[in-house]
A and B are shown apart, each in its own frame.
Chain A
Amino acid sequence: MNQENDIILSRLAKLLEAESPHLMRYASYRLGNTENAKDALQDVFLKMHSRLSENASPQVNDLRNYLFRTLSNLCTAKLCEQKKQNIVPLDEKFDSMETVTDDFESDFERISMLLNHIPDEQAEVIRLRIYGNNSFAEVADILSIPLPTVKSRFLYGVEKIRQGMKTIKSTI
C-alpha cells in the first residue's frame, strides 16, 4: 500500500466514524434489517480496504459520496440476491403512516409501503436524501445523474406518494 492510499484509508476510517449514523440509517431502510445493514457496512469497508490494499490509488474526488455510492450499489446487489423487494398492494392499509410504530421492522414496513408505490429510481433519491442525509447535489454525485434530475425525481416521488395517501384515505 502506498502512502497516498494510507492517507485515504485514514480519511475513510474518520469518515466512517462521522457518517456511520447516516450510512446505517440509509442501509437499514434500504435493506429492512439492521443486521443486514451492519453487514453491508462491513462489506463496504472491507471492499474499499482491499481496493486500497491491492491497487494503486483510486481516483476519488469525494470520499463520502464514493462511500454512499458503494453502499447503494452493494444494497442493490444484496436485494437482488435475496429477492427481498416485496411489492405491497396499494390498497393495503396505506393509512399506516399514522399508526404507532415502536420497532424497526414495523417502521421499515410502513416506509416501504410508501416507497414501493413509486419507481425505484425516485425511491432511491428519497432514501439517499432523507435516510442518508445527503444534499441533492451529493445525491447527484452518488448516483452520477444531473442535479435537476435528482430534484425532479424527489419531487415526483413525494407527489406520487401524497396522491396515493390521499386516494386511499378517500376510499377508506
Chain B
Amino acid sequence: MTCEEFRNKVVGLFDTTVDVQTKADCEEHVAKCPKCKAYYEDLMDTFNALQPQVAPEKLLESKQKKNHHKYCQVAAAVVIFLVGMAVGWSHLFSTPASANGTPLFSIDQAIQCVQNVGSFQMEVFARTERNENFSYFNPKADFVKIGIQLMRQDSFTYYRVEKEHGRTIVCDGKNQYVWTPNGQYFKESLNANVLESFANLLYPERLLSMQKSAMELSKDNKVSRTETDSTIVLVTEGMESSGDLQQLLELGKTKDCKVTMQNVFSKSDGLLRSVKIWLIANGARTLIVHIDDIRYNIMLSKNSLISIPQIPLEKWVHINQQQSLSQNRLDFLQKETPQHLAQRVMQALIAGKSDQAKEALVYYKDVFQKLATNLNGCKASNFVVRKDGSYAGVYVFYTLTKPNGSSEKDHLAIRNDNAQHIWIVDGGL
C-alpha cells in the first residue's frame, strides 16, 4: 500500500464496521511509514475527542428538570414510545469515558470513567495454570499471558479471552464459545460462567466496584492515593482474611492472605491504565497479576474478535451435555467416590483403554490416545481428595511414578455439578 492509497482508505477505519483486509493493509502501512502513522494518530485523537463524555446517570438527573408534553393526541402511542426510550436510556452515551483528573478523584469516579467505554484491549499476566480453566490464581505458578479484548456495540457485548497456549473464550453477543488446544469445543449461553473468577478482569468497573465494597465493608481495609504529573494511583489493601478483596479474587486457597491492589489511572481521561495485585502471606509478598497497558476505545474488528474455529456445528457441545447411559451404569457412576473415579481414570489412561472411563473423560476423548501414550508404563498411587473453596468440584492429588523410577505429584480436577451428577474430569491432564 502506498501513502496515497492509505490516505484514500483510512476513513474506512472510522466506520461502524471495519473491513478486515483494509485494517490489515493500513496497519501494515503505518508500521513502516511514520508520516502516515502520525496522520492516523492525529485523526484518531480527534475522533476520540469528539466522543461524548457524559454518563447516562447525569443525563437522567437533567431529565427531571423539566417535564412538559405538548401533545395529548395519540397519547397511548407516546406512552409506548417513552417506555421504549426509557428502556434504551440506560444505554445512552455508551461510547464515551467521563474524564476526571481532579484532586478528589475517587473509586466512584474511576468506575464511572471505565464503565462507558466502547472497547478495550489488554494483556493480563497472571500466575495461573496454562492448561486449566479460569477458576483460580496460583501464587506458585509462572505468569501466563491472557489477551482480553472487549467491544460494546448496539447493546451487545463481544469479547475474546485467549490464554496463551491454553483455552480461548469468545462471546459473539448471543453465545459463549470455549475451545482448548487439545480439541475440546464447547458452546454455552451468555449466562454460563465459563470465565469463572477471571470474569472480574473482563470488566474493569467490576474490579473497581469490588474494591470499593471492600473499603466499605471494613475500616481495616484501606485505600491510599498518590499522583504523578500524568497519573493517579489508588492502592487498596484488604486487611482481613474474609474481606471482599479476597472474594474479588475468589481464592479459596489463600484464606490467610492479605491482598493489595494498585490501580493506575491516567490523569488526562481518568481511565484505569494498569493494575497490579499482590498476595501477602507468611511475610511474603507475591505479585500474582499485572496488567500493564489497558487501551480504550480502540478500533477492533468485530469479525476478528468473534472468529471461532471452523468446525462442524455438532462438534460444539454443552459443557454439561448429558450422556446416554443405562440406569445401572448411571447408578454406578453417581455412587462413585472422587477417589475411586480418579483411580479408574488413571488406570484407563495408563492401560490405554478408553472404555474404562469414557464418561469421565468425555472432554478428552479426542486426545485420549496421546495422553495414554505419554502415561504408558507409569503408575499412579496415593490418591488424596482435597476440596477447594473456589472450585465447584474437587481436586484429587496423586503420585505418578514414571518407568524410569522418578515420581511427581499431580492432580485431577473433577466435578459432578452436571445434570446427571456424575464425576467428570475437568482439568489436570
Binds B, one of A55-63, A68-76, A77-85, A124-132: A124-132
* B53 contacts partner chain A, Cβ-Cβ < 8 Å: yes
Contact at B16–A134, with CB atoms within 8 Å?
Answer: yes
Contact at B71–A100, with CB atoms within 8 Å?
Answer: no
User: If A130-B50, A158-B47 touch, does A24 touch B85 (CB 8 Å cutoff)?
Assistant: yes
User: If A129-B14, A135-B16, A158-B47 touch, does A45 touch B78 (CB 8 Å cutoff)?
Assistant: yes
Contact at B88–A18, with CB atoms within 8 Å?
Answer: yes
Contact at A131–B52, with CB atoms within 8 Å?
Answer: yes
Select A45's contact among B77, B98, B99, beta carbons within 8 Å. B77
Contact at B59–A104, with CB atoms within 8 Å?
Answer: yes
Which residue from chain A places its CB closest to the CB of B61 in the assembled complex? Answer: A103
> Shortest beta-carbon distance, A8 to chain B, in Å?
13
CA A121 – CA B74 in complex, angstroms?
A: 34
Residue-wise interface mask of B (74-95) relative to A, using a CB-CB cutoff of 8 A (1 in contact, 0 not): 1001101101110111011111
Which residue from chain B places its CB closest to the CB of A115 in the assembled complex? Answer: B50
Chain A 1-34 interface residues, beta-carbon cutoff 8 Å to B: 13, 16-21, 24-25, 28-29, 34
Contacts of B58 in A (CB 8 A): 102-104
Q: 8 closest pairs, A vs B, by CB? A: A17-B84, A20-B88, A21-B91, A20-B85, A135-B16, A162-B46, A21-B88, A97-B49
Chain B 16-57 interface residues, beta-carbon cutoff 8 Å to A: 16-17, 42-43, 45-47, 49-54
Binding site for A on B (CB under 8 A): 10-12, 14-17, 42-43, 45-47, 49-54, 58-59, 62-63, 65-66, 69-71, 73-74, 77-78, 80-81, 83-85, 87-89, 91-95, 98-102, 154-155, 268
User: If A18-B88, A21-B91, A24-B85 touch, does A104 touch B54 (CB 8 Å cutoff)?
Assistant: yes
Select B70's contact among A39, A41, A99, A131, beta carbons within 8 Å. A39
Contact at A104–B62, with CB atoms within 8 Å?
Answer: yes
* A91 contacts partner chain B, Cβ-Cβ < 8 Å: no
Select B50's contact among A19, A111, A134, A151, beta carbons within 8 Å. A111
> Shortest beta-carbon distance, A98 to chain B, in Å?
6
Contact at A101–B54, with CB atoms within 8 Å?
Answer: yes
Contact at A135–B17, with CB atoms within 8 Å?
Answer: yes
CA A98 – CA B155 in complex, angstroms?
A: 28
Which residue from chain A places its CB closest to the CB of B9 in the assembled complex? Answer: A151
Contact at B87–A17, with CB atoms within 8 Å?
Answer: yes
> Shortest beta-carbon distance, B142 to chain A, in Å?
40
Select A21's contact among B50, B77, B89, B99, beta carbons within 8 Å. B89
